Amino acid sequence: MKLTDFKVLTFDCYGTLIDWETGIFTALKALLAKLPKPLARDAALENFARHESAQEVETPTMVYSALLNAVHRRLAREWNVAASDGEHDAFGQSVGEWPAFPDSAEALAYLKRHYKLVILSNVDRASFARSNARLGVTFDAIYTAQDIGTYKPDARNFAFMIEKLAALGHPKRDILHTAQSLFHDHAPATAAGLATAWIDRRHDQQGWGATMAPPGAPRIDLRFTSLGAMAAAHREALQAK
């Protein structure tokens, strides 16, 4: 399997293109500061992952900004600290402040010259639009949880995307699903019959960070430690032809 075998790159955004762990942890600092004992970054992210995943299952049609508000409330209750409605709202609206990875915009600009680029994201359209401005590229299609009514790793999100791309003339064999999260993306993408590229942003860290552990060991077709490394590999593949 080669990068040049595909015509469409479908992307998870948060954790893959946008550094959501830095964004989440920064947005949680005000709440964390109220704890009697400091909580390490990875511990805070693991707490977030548990509550985010549970909330997505409980309220699959809730818009992501509202869902983050609910997650912030759940964390405040678990940590037994007080927080105002304004603080909950601020966390819910923080997505647009989450930074892009340093390599994302340049790598996307390169890949755009060779592929159709598509987003399959768990956020809402308004939140993604704010992140898209940080990425500097026009995606050929954007499919969000708000459009679909469920959150990844639900199989319906991938079925929706596959159906939409098929209608645009791109069968599964054209598609390489490109993502960091084994839980949200690689396990369900593999089950849906898609080839995958793992952007292993946490290759030098322990644990799963802001995502839950994947069920079993999903198949990984291609692996890169950054999107920049993926773009470089594509460039090398073209030169080798």
What is the pLDDT, as a whole number, of residue 208?
92
What is the pLDDT, as a whole number, of residue 22?
98
Q: Where in the chain is the domain with CATH 1.10.150.750?
A: 20-97
Q: Which residues are known to be catalytic?
A: 12
Q: Where in the chain is the domain with CATH 3.40.50.1000?
A: 3-19+98-240
Q: What is the 3-state secondary structure (H, E, C) of the chain?
A: CCHHHCCEEEECCECCCECHHHHHHHHHHHHHCCCCCCCCHHHHHHHHHHHHHHHHHHCCCCCHHHHHHHHHHHHHHHHCCCCCHHHHHHHHCHHHHCCECCCHHHHHHHHHCCCEEEEEECCCHHHHHHHHHHHCCCCCEEEEHHHHCCCCCCHHHHHHHHHHHHHCCCCHHHEEEEECCHHHHHHHHHHCCCEEEEECCCCCCCCCCCCCCCCCCCCCCEEECCHHHHHHHHHHHHHHC
Task: Indicate the fold that domain 3-19+98-240 takes in CATH.
Answer: Rossmann fold (3.40.50)
What is the pLDDT, as a whole number, of residue 216?
83
What is the pLDDT, as a whole number, of residue 160?
98
What is the pLDDT, as a whole number, of residue 119?
98
* Local confidence pLDDT in tens for the 241 residues of the chain: 899 999 999 999 999 999 999 999 999 999 999 999 989 999 999 999 999 999 999 999 999 999 999 999 999 999 999 999 999 999 999 999 999 999 999 999 999 999 999 999 999 999 999 999 999 999 999 999 999 999 999 999 999 999 999 999 999 999 999 999 999 999 999 999 999 999 999 998 898 999 999 988 888 999 999 999 999 999 999 988 6
Q: Tell me if the domain spanning 20-97 has CATH number 1.10.150.750.
A: yes
